[in-house]
Amino acid sequence: MYAPQTPQLQAVREHIATNVKQLRSIVESPGFRRRIGALEGERLKRVPRGFPKDHPAAEYLKYRQFLAGADLPPGIATSPRFYGTLLDVFRQIVPLVRFLNHPLLPGQR
């Protein structure tokens, strides 16, 4: 989620605030950490207005962008391992994409 509009970002933050365990289970899972690393993106210095500073999801609420991916060596593109590697990356990222998109789908708010 590169540049969400303010209402979208607010909806995602509210979803994170009420479902932080689910988000953590995705981005802190061994598979995600091994293949993707850490969640990245532009972040605020403080917890956004409307959320307590000591909220259990405070660090995730600071995100303004939610970026995840894998840097792969150029040679993998012509390797027989390319397809499997790409699928592995997608398998790790899809739960995050679904989580972030959930509050943006019609009827989910």
Per-domain residue ranges of the chain: 6-104
27, 34 Cβ separation under 8 angstroms: no
The SS3 call for residue 38 is coil
The SS3 call for residue 103 is helix
Q: Which of 23, 109, 5, 7 has its CA nearest to residue 61?
A: 23
User: Residue-wise pLDDT tens for the chain (109 aa)?
Assistant: 999 999 999 999 999 999 999 999 999 999 999 999 999 999 999 999 999 999 999 999 999 999 999 999 999 999 999 999 999 999 999 999 999 999 999 876 5
82, 27 Cβ separation under 8 angstroms: no
For 26, the token pair is 């995705």
Give the whole-angstrom CA distance, residue 72 versus residue 69: 10
pLDDT at residue 107 in the model: 76
pTM equals: 0.90
